[in-house]
Amino acid sequence: MRSFLEVLNHPVDAFRTGSKTVSWGLVTITILLNTVFEPILRFFCSDNAHDIVNMLKLTVAGFAAYIVICLAFWLICKLFGSESTLSAHINTWGMTFVPTAVCSVVVAFTEVFFFIFWNSTIWGMLLNIVFVGILIWKAILFFLYLKDFAGLKGWRFICACAAMGVVILVVVALDGYVGLKTPII
């Protein structure tokens, strides 16, 4: 629990200490929220049957997306002079998944209970604030990750941000194509 609180309150210190358990725990929770929780919630609330094989396929796709994004981040960081290893990227990037997990829960509830939010200006404004907050939180963690974990500064930092932005867009598109509603990035 202490390591998880460190991820929330002091992400840079968490990147340095590198709690593999917390990182993989956050990744696993996020993927399961996205691939298992949402179908189960939908089943209990709307009696729509979901295919177990499809849930397993999406879970495997979620872990594959995580490995792909970490591999791409490692290659780009290496290209721009980072000394971090691939295993360090794989075991650290997951610490940025708290906002992704929150987004998975919000997306699941808004899709299953869309009739509550339909044509409601107040709910629309609140959800927009939540989603913008989640995006800002994830972006801050992304920049801290590049600066403090990967050790990129100056023009190398800016170029790595641009290259990773392209990679993120590609992975988001692929995640959506396979059926992951919240991108595993």
Most confident residue range from 7-21, 70-84, 85-99, 171-185:
70-84
Confidence class for position 2, pLDDT limits 50, 70, 90: low
pLDDT of residue 127: 83
pLDDT of residue 156: 95
pLDDT of residue 1: 60
CA dihedral 182, 97, 151, 75 (to 10 degrees): -40
How many whole angstroms separate alpha carbon 156 and alpha carbon 162?
10
Cβ–Cβ < 8 Å for 39, 110: no
How many whole angstroms separate alpha carbon 41 and alpha carbon 162?
37
How confident is the model over 4-61, as pLDDT tens digits?
Answer: 666 666 677 777 777 788 888 889 999 998 888 888 887 777 666 667 888 889 899 9
pLDDT of residue 174: 92
